[in-house]
Structure 1
Amino acid sequence: METNDTYYETYEKNCTQTQYTYMSSFGVELAVPEWEAIITAITLTSIILLTVVGNILVILSVFTHKPLRIVQNFFIVSLAVADLTVAILVLPFSVAVQILGRWEFGIHVCKMWLTCDVLCCTASILNLCAIALDRYWAITDPINYAQKRTLKRVLVMIGGVWLLSGIISSPPLVGWNDWPEVFHNDTPCQLTSQQGYVVYSSLGSFYIPLLIMTIVYVEIFMATRKRLRERARASKLNVVKINQPQNKEMAHDQDSVSSETNHNEHPHLLEGNSKSREKKKKSKKKRKKIEGDGSLKDKYLQKPSIVAEDSVTDNLGDGGSGSHGATSLNHCEDHQTTETPKSRNASQKDHGPPSAISGSITVPTAGTKKQVPMYQFIEEKQRISLSKERRAARTLGIIMGVFVVCWLPFFLMYVIVPFCDSCCPSDKLIHFITWLGYINSALNPIIYTIFNMDFRRAFKKLLHLKP
């Protein structure tokens, strides 16, 4: 049954589109049937609410949860602010245009809406680029960049992101546009299709940041894979090194037994070998003394390659803040590395002298303390480290994949249509591709926090959920 009351035609370039109008129960003309308008309004409003709530939680988490108050997380805050402004200033008007099929808010609000659209979406994309660069510098030059990554430097970078976004979005306001001189209710409020500005804005808003992010994340992925291989080799070597002292001691004991047997069978050799036995006894006593001091452990255990905590593991691993370990084993290791000689001596009185062969370490688990053999502790630490690096590498792929899927279709359409007179995408296709880009603002807080235990804990605390 035909439900449209009237229809009219719009002409843009060489495209002719027939626009039907449908009368709603409230006497308002709609661009789609009323049932479709209701479904569209519910769906898009849900996306807006998800974007608002998610990004507000991210901002509050950084400022209220102590483990998250680190300088690199201000990039995440800036990203959340950009995505939040998209949800508040841009998306509601986009819902109205999609349902009504026309602009009802005047020329000045139209210019404000289009400018905010370009500004906020560009800021969101450039913040993603800044996060990628921060992680690249942290993983490729961890020692020097740890000193350079100050609050002032981070704030300057964030200010640069917003300033560049303003430079990209403002030219249409000063005349670089093809907006009509006279604006009527049936005049579409849409981004300028002036070819020079389209090239300028698309390069600054998407294509150059995409190129930078691709190069940076490829470098990060390669560095991560290299670290995985190095740590895997270190893990194997540690197992071998741990077992070597046991084999040497067994061989030494067998030599001692064999020597004593030979002496009993050949008494005339006893006197000649007495000096040799004395030297062996002194050597054995000296080795036991070294073991009692705990220094033999450092001699035989190869320490895994030291890699400073960076933004990749900070924000994508379990531990979140760099100084907070992923598990209780991490806390245990941190405690061990800061142990003073006095506390070490006290520990030796309680638990006996540690050694590379049979030493153990106290690990807190579920409110209790458990003695774990040293070799098991080392192997567990290596396993956690390797698992953390694999998760970080996998998450980098998710970040790039979601970003490209959300924004590439829009910017392809944005660049192609002004230069192609015969390219006439339908309104529904335009709305779908545009909202696909907007959805990235809802996914960002999920992607950048779902792999971080500290953010999850902060979210649960803010929402008053059980931990």
Structure 2
Amino acid sequence: MSWCVFAATAVVITLTTVVANVVALLALWRVSRVPSHYPLMSLVTADLLVGSAVMPIGGARELFVFHLDKTLCSVWSTLDVLGCTASILSLCALGWERYRAVTSPLAQRRDTAKHLAMMVWPVATTVALLTAFIPTTEHHDPGKAQKACTVNINVGYVFGSILLSFYTPAVVMIVFYTKIIRSLSAPPPIRAHRGRSPIPEVTSIDVRQLPNLNILTRAAALIPPDAILDNFSARQRRATMTILKLMTLFLVCWTPFFVMLPTDALCTCVSDSVWMLCTWLGYMNSAINPMVYAVASPRVRKALLGSHTSTTQTER
């Protein structure tokens, strides 16, 4: 019964991850390029890699007893670390983009967000390649373990990799979102003068300078500035809450694994069932991410429904 339950669960998680991320990837290609687009594309790509290349072999290894070829073992282990690390670092890049969007809404952050998304992959690749080259007593030892290909538990590698892959990004995201929440809870610093001109001025920032908002066209001259700013603030809050949900789910899904991994590296005392539970809880994050964003994002929902609108309205 337990075998059947896990088999069904693994199949559902794997198929959901692949389908959801393929659909999200196609939808993101069809919407306008905004700063959050680039780290989101990185996130979806990483999660799709986990679902298509990592989960099927991981599930098969749990369900059946067989030995992976040493080369295949190294490739699978590397892709496992690559996909999961890139997914986590992409969430970190999203956290930065939201932080800048809320605290410096007029700043040009598109190029920086794009470069951060691009940097995710060299860092993740470096962490992933090391798992294949740093020796571990249980990494590929057919005589010691039935499944042969196990996680690299070299103590030095484990603590170095979890620092780059999880703990540093987690701390950075917590700092970003703490500042974001404080900023959003503070009274709005932008206030418009009333009754002076068709397009009133703003004491600190001219609302006409807010980028990429269709509501700030000439036709919007008759819209009260307070309504414009309230709309802008509401968009910021919705977009930030979406990424905040992604970050919360990331912590819930991955914290058990990254507590278990160093523990087992030190004492080799974690049971196979706990390993399996924590690993697949982490994998499940790759299935949840695209669904959370698709549900929360009006732009992505429109793309999913087949809308070919050319709007440049953003979630900034």
Task: Report the TM-score, using the length of structure 1 for normalisation.
Answer: 0.58
Q: Would you say the 8 A contact 1:86–1:441 is kept in 2? A: yes
Q: CA shift at 1:402, angstroms?
A: 0.8
1:301-337 CA-partner distances (Å, limit 9, x unpaired): 8679667769xxxxxxxxxxx435xxxxx4xx53435
Q: 1:55 aligns with which of 18, 21, 30?
A: 21
State the AA in 2 paired with 1:127. Answer: S
Matches within 5 A, 1:318-329: 322-324=212-214
Mapping for residues 316-395 of structure 1, pairs under 5 Å: 322-324=212-214, 330=215, 333-337=216-220, 380-381=227-228, 384-395=231-242
Provide the C-alpha distance between the structure 2 equivalents of 1:388 and 1:141, rounded to a whole number of angstroms.
15
State the shift of 1:136 in Å.
2.2
Q: Which residue of 1 aligns with 2:122?
A: 163
1:154 positional shift: 4.6
Q: Partner amino acid for 2:188?
A: E
Against the structure 1 CA distance between its residues 127 and 379, is the aligned structure 2 distance closer, same or farther, given a 3 Å change threshold? Answer: closer
1:43 is aligned to 2:1: no
5+ residue gaps, structure 2, are 308-316
User: What is the CA–CA distance in structure 1 between the aligned matches of 2:153 and 2:114, rounded to whole Å?
Assistant: 34
1:130 aligns with 2:93: yes
Match of 2:294 among 444, 449, 459: 449
Q: Which has the higher contact order (CA 8 A, sep 6+)?
A: 2
In 1, the alpha carbon distance for the partners of 2:73 and 2:232 equals: 52
Matched position secondary structure for 1:461: coil
* Structure 1 portions without partners, runs of 5+: 1-34, 243-294, 311-321, 325-329, 340-360, 362-373, 463-467
Q: 1:408 aligns with which of 255, 261, 282?
A: 255
Who is 2:80 aligned against? 117
Alpha-carbon separation, structure 2, partners of 1:379 and 1:323: 15
Deviations 1:13-61 (A, max 9, x none): xxxxxxxxxxxxxxxxxxxxxx433332222212111111111122212
Relative to structure 1, the CA distance from residue 309 to residue 165 in structure 2 (aligned partners, 3 Å threshold; closer, same or farther) is farther
Counterpart for residue 420 of structure 1: 267
Spell out, residue by residue over 1:396-434, the C-alpha distance to the aligned partner (whole angstroms, 9 max, x if none).
Answer: 54233211101101100011122235xx33322221111
**Is the 8 Å Cα contact of residues 61 and 68 (structure 1) preserved in structure 2?**
no
Contact 2:98–2:240 (Cα < 8 Å) also in 1:
no
Q: How many residues align?
A: 305
**TM-score calculated relative to the size of structure 2:** 0.83
> Which residue of structure 1 aligns with residue 314 of structure 2?
none
Partner amino acid, structure 1, of 2:270 = P
> Which deviations, in whole Å up to 9, do the C-alpha atoms of 1:56-112 show, x marking residues without a partner?
12221222x2x4333541221111111101001110011112222x34332221121
Structure 1 position 230 matched with structure 2 position 194: no
Change (3 A) 1:124 1:401: same
The CA distance in 2 between the partners of 1:126 and 1:85, in whole Å, is 14
Q: Secondary structure at the match of 1:192?
A: coil
Q: In structure 1, what is the equivalent of residue 162 of structure 2?
A: 202
Aligned partner of 2:54 in structure 1 is 90
- In the alignment, the residues of structure 2 paired with residue 417 and residue 193 of structure 1 have an alpha-carbon distance, to the nearest angstrom, of 7
What secondary structure sits across from 1:170 in the alignment? helix
Question: Given residue 47 of structure 2, which amino acid in structure 1 is its aligned partner?
Answer: D
Report the aligned-residue RMSD.
3.0
**Percent identity over the alignment?**
28
C-alpha distance in 2, partners of 1:156/1:71? 10
